[in-house]
Amino acid sequence: MKKRGNMSPVSKTHHAAIGRRPSVRAAIATGLAVLAAMLGTTGVATAATATPPNDNQADAQVIHSLPATIAGTTVGATTDPGTPGSESSCAGSTAASVWYSLRSAGAQRVAVNLAASGALEASVDVYHVVRSQLNSVACDRTEVKGKASLSFNASKNGLYLIRVAALAGSQLAPFTLEVFLPTPEVRPPGSPLPAGGVSGQVDPIQNVNAAYAVTLRSGVSYLINLANGRGGGCVSGRLYPPGTRSFEEGSPAVIHINCRGYRLFTPGAGQGGRYSFEVTPQGRGVKHFRLQVARANPSETAPGIPLGNYAHGHGRLDGRGVQVLRLYRMDVNSHSNLTLRLKAPPSADFNVQLRNVNGQVIACACGESGSQTLQHQLQPGRYYAVVSDRDNSTGNFTLVRESRTITTTRLSFGAASAHAGQSLGIAVKVSPGASGPVTVDIERFDPVFGWQFYGESHAVASGGSATVGFTPPAVGRWRAKASYGGSRAFSPSAVGFSYLLVS
């Protein structure tokens, strides 16, 4: 077990340790521990598995200068019962642990990389020593490749403890610890953004942000597209107004793009000038991105491109640039069935949205690739169709609009009863004043087997009216139903049965 005496992080033993290098005996002990791990030894200290010299918090190994690359091990290490932060971590319960200490020469960001050997699952924790207290600063645990990384902002002359601990139940093994000063954060306004856009990369440790300056004019609308690069993952973006001196949290960003996406931005009166756009990573690892800002053209913002009935809208989208959407406006004059047909290559990940005059999405053909169809019933009014990119796709497309007025069909024998052999006219009415094909189906009633098909007649409605001749051949019960086949301007409709008694 570890020592149980005065475990204060600022004990005399600890201060003495900060001023000396590990002894030859300690180095030999560490070498034996590494050898034991290579031979498959567990974490139980034996004559062949010496306890690491920095096993105790009070004996933390001093990191004298940066960058530093340190070979360490959890083999032979024990726990530190009763010491703050010794038995738990942001990664969960821990077991064997070793300690390192660092005194920061100035106010600066410090990065830590941990590379575990074998099947070691570990966490790395950083604590700020404030008198007798350990304040947790940062923490990370190893992923599937045995890597863990973190960074923290150190204060000038601040004392920090770094703890590497095996997770509960993990195999004990050697590791490599790197402590260094990463690339400083980029400050506003950043480097000028090229007109054709820029590609870059950010990560949570070495390059924590990227920043670009772009001049925007008051009253002019601009499309801003932040696309993820190869390898997937997410980046976030924020647009800051002219005069911004810091990207720190709480600064007044005017646009926020979360995990890729695009926005339309128009500076208000007196708000033109040099803006700053900051890109930051989300999650572990290196994140690649593509950023472009360009003036929006009439096909990308209101009032949009007019799309008449049966008109074809042609365009091209490129999710790696600013050609990320096309906006079409449609005027609907009657209660209608709308069909939007998108023709696109199979590789194109495009969405089709239908929005009302207030911009609300009322229907969407989203999440699929290639050609898609959207259908919806609409009341008279103005609507918008939006074809937009998804997942950085590129390709040409054609959007076709089909609007047909909704109709109702009625049928009448003209009387409730008739005589056998009497000629009748079955009247069909299609509202509102539709023209087109009409079909009438006639059935007779059998008292044993029920309704049976008798015949089918066809006619053409003109101005909403059509008549089909019918002469009942025998007494009994008869019925008929009608359907309107529709036309280029009118939707199909149908009506149920009307009945006739023949005596």
Fold entry, domain 305-405:
Jelly Rolls (2.60.120)
Indicate yes or no: pTM above 0.75. Answer: no
pLDDT at site 32: 45
CB within 8 Å of 133: residues ≥ 6 apart: 84
pLDDT at site 37: 46
Q: Do domains 305-405 and 408-502 have the same CATH topology?
A: no
Rounded Cα gap, residues 332 and 377, in angstroms: 11
pLDDT at site 187: 92
pLDDT at site 52: 95
Q: What is the CA radius of gyration of the chain?
A: 38
CATH class for domain 12-180? mainly beta
Partners of 279 in the beta sheet? 210, 237
Return the exposure string of 67-89: e unless at least 16 CB atoms fall within 10 Å of the residue's CB, then b: eeeeebbbbbbbbbeebbbbbeb
Outline where DSSP puts E strands in 407-449: 408-412, 417-418, 424-431, 436-446
Low-confidence ranges of the chain (pLDDT < 50): 1-47
- The tokens of 418 are what? 């008739």
Architecture of domain 408-502: Sandwich (2.60)
Q: What are the distances in angstroms from CA 240 to CA 60, 192, 264, 277?
A: 43, 14, 14, 6
Q: What angle do CA 442, 444, 450 make, to 5 degrees?
A: 125
CATH of the domain spanning 191-295: 2.60.120.380
pLDDT at site 81: 65
Parse the chain into domains and list their residue ranges. Answer: 12-180, 191-295, 305-405, 408-502
Say how far residue 315 (Cα) sits from the centre of its chain: 25
pLDDT at site 199: 94
pLDDT at site 95: 85
